[in-house]
Amino acid sequence: MNQQDSDNSFIAEALPAFISEAREQIEQLEQLLLQLEDDPDDRDLLDALFRCAHTVKGSAGIFGLDKVVAFTHHVETLLDRLREGHLSLNPEISTLLLQSNDQIGKLVAAAQDPQEDSAADLQARAELVERLRVASGDIAVVGTVSAPQASAEAVVAGGARAWHVSVCFGADTYRNGMDPLAIVHYVSGLGAISHISCDFESVPSLDALDPESCHLTLAFELQTAARREEIEAAFSFVRDDCVLHIVEPDASPADIVALIEAMPDFPRLGDILIDAGAISRAQLAQALQIQSAALAPEAPAARLGEILQTTSAVSPKVVEAALQKQQKQREGAAAAPDDNRFIRVQADRLDAVINLLGELVIAGAGASLLARQSRQGSLIEANAQISRLIEEIRNGTLQLRMVPIGETFSRFRRVVRDTAAELGKDVALEIVGGDTELDKSVVERIADPLMHLVRNALDHGLEPPQQRIDAGKPAQGKLTLSACHESGSILIRILDDGRGIQRDKVLQRAWDRGLVEQGVTPPEADILKLIFEPGFSTAEKVTNLSGRGVGMDVVRRNIEALRGSVNIESVPGEGSRIEIRLPLTLAIIDGFLIGVGASKFIFPLDAVVEVIENRPTSGELDAHGRSVVELRGQVLPVVSLRDLYSLESGEPERSSVVVIRSGGRRFGVMVDALLGQHQTVIKPLGRMFRSLRGMSGSSILGNGEVALIFDVHSLSQLAERPPSLTHTPRHLGKTSASASLSQESQPS
């Protein structure tokens, strides 16, 4: 009873970990399958696939998830057929395996609430099982439960061969819930085990023993007709951290040499040779006797290796390899094991640390400020040191949250494959810059908008093969997902070489829907942006993939909620390009603090190119506070923050221009004071100030003042607005901006 309870509580605790791991395996399965489609004969891929399926099945078994085990078993059988080369991967099998993988995913997801399947679920599963079995050519064999025991006898009879197996279990074997005893029992189901020896020397004495670490090293001979893969499969649960050697029955001395080279911790030459199967224990005993006999009369000690060569005809090469290995062990060159492992950390713990770090950054900035005010050199020095350390900790901590976007991208392989097939299109997906890293929370929240854009491109953008050929393009469409870093943000591009967006259709639709006043033609660049307006859909026919018209505005909203922006360009007939710009992280940035009058603002430091002294502008400022200056022979547009936001303060004696880079362009911002670099913890602006344009957040300075953080991209858009279009709203916006600014920038 008690045991049962503790089992149950263990399962309840461990199940979420299992589910998250199983999900990873299932995702990996999918990726492997898709890779395999490109390279159907890749043996390593097939092995990895099999291992994934086997791991899911095995760990599901531990948790008693019988449905997962039963279903995955059929998938495994089919994979095994592929591995054996009885079948080769074709699109049908690939599709079937992908669907089966989805099914496994569903079953795993359902593990947490073990309710009964609906009839439809059951039928869908039965159908898949049926197809799997037909595909494996397995239909005649009913209920093939993998039972090596059952077939062992037949196997031994049919051409059994003697394999030499040696295995050194990893230290974590027990902690991972594995038991060498059970594994050997399982192996014995494959055939007959003989000459098993356990290396006593590899187990430390009681004083030095960690009873929960595994130190077992075994070697045995296995008489079986099973193939190498089947023997290996028996070790698949410990495969990752054990050292396993399986030597072919008719291995040449060279193989045995290689084996000895590779074996980790066999301390004695004799054991090495026995375990490699080069000599038998009896032969060793005989050789040892000769050695000790030779030692007795103080004769020059005959070396065991030489004796072995003479008595049991072990090839000299084999002995040499063993001797070399023994030598290396004596030198004790046991380098520290490569601890390139991962630790799972709960995301909220990490967030708590990052929040605290934010407070620390603010407090540190406050302390630096006080130190500077005190004018004590040593205190300033000490504070500078602390600030440096805080910065390093900050960078390190934020790095912890960074994940490559490639995982999200590769999820689209499947989407592209299935969607294109459904639409009768031929599309190749290219992924560029998958190792670009960004904050995990950003990655998670960008996946859905990306999905929508990708589907949109597939559905509306890319044409069916015949149309493409008629248009003089290759039949296969190309969709590119790319990511790269650009001035402190990440730029994600979705490119297709499809039919592009027809501006006149967009415009007509916008007129019809009342998004733009009938007959008014907005500037060329703004027409395409209309598709992001709520209630817009250009699809002539609504398909179930996209085109319900609920998508694009939601996409834009989601991206803007991440302080990002989305832009679309299109050339009719040649394709479209959607650019999503996102901040790298949502928490902390390096900022450049500037002042205008009494207000303080922060630019993201990455966006700042240089700072120049303001010089006489070529003309007066226009109504938006815009003008141009000459910079190294080029014209640089500048904007005055004082005029743009109607900040009421006197003109300063001298002002500076901060040159900002946004997208591919540069522009200058006129400011009064340059206050230097500043670590900035971003605090959201709150609902009230959502209408504030050009800002992405606020930050509390060390002295308690509030500074507003510019969103460089939207600031540039704000400054770009043509006066004619925005005359009236600008006026309204102006007052609201200045009102909110005065509220924000005056600390209470």
Binding site for another protein (CB under 8 A): 169, 173-174, 179-182, 184-185, 188, 193, 195-198, 200-201, 203-207, 209, 211-212, 214-216, 218, 220, 281-282
Reading the block at residue 104, the tokens are 């496994």
- In DSSP notation, 137-186 reads T-TTS-S----HHHHHHHHHHTT-EEEEEEEE--TTTTTTT--HHHHHHH
Six-digit token pair at 153?
């006898």
**Could you tell me the CA-to-CA distances from 223 to 96, 165, 180, 252, 284 in Å, in that order?**
36, 10, 19, 18, 22
Q: Which is nearer to another protein, 140 or 181 (CB)?
A: 181
Question: 676-689 as b/e, with b when 16 or more CB fall inside 10 Å?
Answer: eebbbbbeebeeeb
User: Is 103 exposed, middle or buried, given 0-12, 13-18 or 19+ CB atoms closer than 10 A?
Assistant: buried
Give long-range contacts, CB 8 A cutoff, 24+ apart: 383-390: 387/679, 390/357, 390/360, 390/361, 390/364, 390/679
Shortest Cβ distance from residue 90 to another protein (Å)?
43
Select 209 or 484, whichever has its Cβ closest to another protein.
Answer: 209
What is the nearest approach in angstroms of another protein to the Cβ of residue 281?
A: 6
By C-beta, is 198 or 356 nearer to another protein?
198
Residue 627 near residue 657 (C-beta atoms within 8 A):
no
Among residues 214 and 357, whose Cβ is nearest to another protein? 214
Q: What is the DSSP string of 487-520?
A: TTEEEEEEEE-S----HHHHHHHHHHHTSS-TT-
At its nearest, how many Å lie between another protein and the CB of residue 321? 24
The angle at the Cα of 70, spanning 67 to 76, to the nearest 5 degrees, equals 130
- C-alpha 160, offset from chain centre: 45
Minimum Å gap between C-beta 96 and another protein is 39
CB of 274 to another protein, least distance (A): 10
Shortest distance, CB of residue 271 to another protein, whole angstroms?
A: 12
CB of 286: closest distance to another protein in angstroms? 14
Shortest separation between residue 193's beta carbon and another protein, angstroms: 8
Distance CA 129, CA 477 (A): 34
Which C-beta is closer to another protein: that of 2 or that of 728?
Answer: 2
Residues in a beta bridge with 581: 491, 565
- Shortest distance in whole angstroms from residue 580 CB to another protein: 51
Residue with smaller CB distance to another protein, 162 or 203: 203
For another protein, the closer CB: 10 or 337: 10
Supply the DSSP string of 624-638, one letter for each residue: TSEEEEEETTEEEEE
Q: For 474, what's the count of Cα atoms within 13 Å in the CB-facing half-sphere? A: 9
Taking the least distance from each CB to another protein, the nearer of 47 and 172 is 172
User: Toward another protein, which CB reaches closer, 53 or 238?
Assistant: 238
Nearer to another protein, 7 or 127 (CB): 7
Using only C-alpha atoms, the chain has a radius of gyration, in whole angstroms, of 35
State both tokens at 407: 């995982």
For the sheet with 161-168, list strands across it.
192-198, 217-224, 161-168, 243-247
CB of 6 to another protein, least distance (A): 10
Q: How far is the CB of 190 from another protein (least distance, A)?
A: 14
Q: Which is nearer to another protein, 16 or 177 (CB)?
A: 177
Q: Sheet containing 706-710: which strands, arranged edge to edge?
A: 673-681, 588-596, 599-604, 706-710, 695-700
Gap between the Cα atoms of 23 and 18, Å rounded: 8
Task: Select 130 or 212, whichever has its Cβ closest to another protein.
Answer: 212
Between 10 and 150, whose beta carbon lies closer to another protein? 10
| 4 vs 115, beta carbon nearer another protein | 4
Angle at 151 between CA 149 and CA 155, to 5 degrees: 115
The smaller minimum CB distance to another protein, of residues 239 and 734, is found at 239
Cα–Cα nearest to 284, from 255, 319, 257:
319
Beta pairing partners, 449: none
Whose tokens are 């200056």? That residue is 629
Q: How far is the CB of 272 from another protein (least distance, A)?
A: 16
Give residue 736's identity as a one-letter amino acid code. Answer: S
Task: Identify whether the C-beta of residue 651 lies closer than 8 Å to the C-beta of residue 630.
Answer: no
Least separation in angstroms between residue 229's CB and another protein is: 23
Between CA 411 and CA 451 the distance in angstroms is 9
Q: Which residues of 227-250 are buried (b: 16+ CB within 10 A; e: fewer)?
A: eebbbbbbbbbbbebbebbbbeee
Supply the minimum distance, in Å, between the C-beta of residue 209 and another protein.
5
CB of 186 to another protein, least distance (A): 11
